[in-house]
Amino acid sequence: MERSAADLVPGQKGMVKDFTDEYISLKLMEMGVLPGTEIVMKFAAPLGDPICVDVSGYALSLRVEEAKTIILS
């Protein structure tokens, strides 16, 4: 099983490799989440979802199900 951005624990880093969902990937790429970009998991909302990650110098929030579409290398 490949590792996705949803598997990161707070403080952990990961490098984006690919996406599993084209539609969501378009939005993510516009927001600077591109293959080869490093993302750092910052924290999750109190109910565990959504989560907040650091990407290309800013804080991005996304749902766990969307984070699952980001495959890390």
Residues forming the site for another protein (CB under 8 A): 22-32, 34-35, 42-43, 45-50, 52, 56-63, 66
Under a CB-based contact definition with an 8 Å cutoff, are residues 64 and 8 in contact? no
CA distances, 68 to each of 8, 13, 44 (Å):
10, 15, 14
Tell me how far, at minimum, the Cβ of 2 lies from another protein, in Å: 20
Distance of closest approach, residue 57 Cβ to another protein, in angstroms: 6
Q: How far is the CB of 64 from another protein (least distance, A)?
A: 9
Cis peptide before 10 (omega within 30 of 0): no
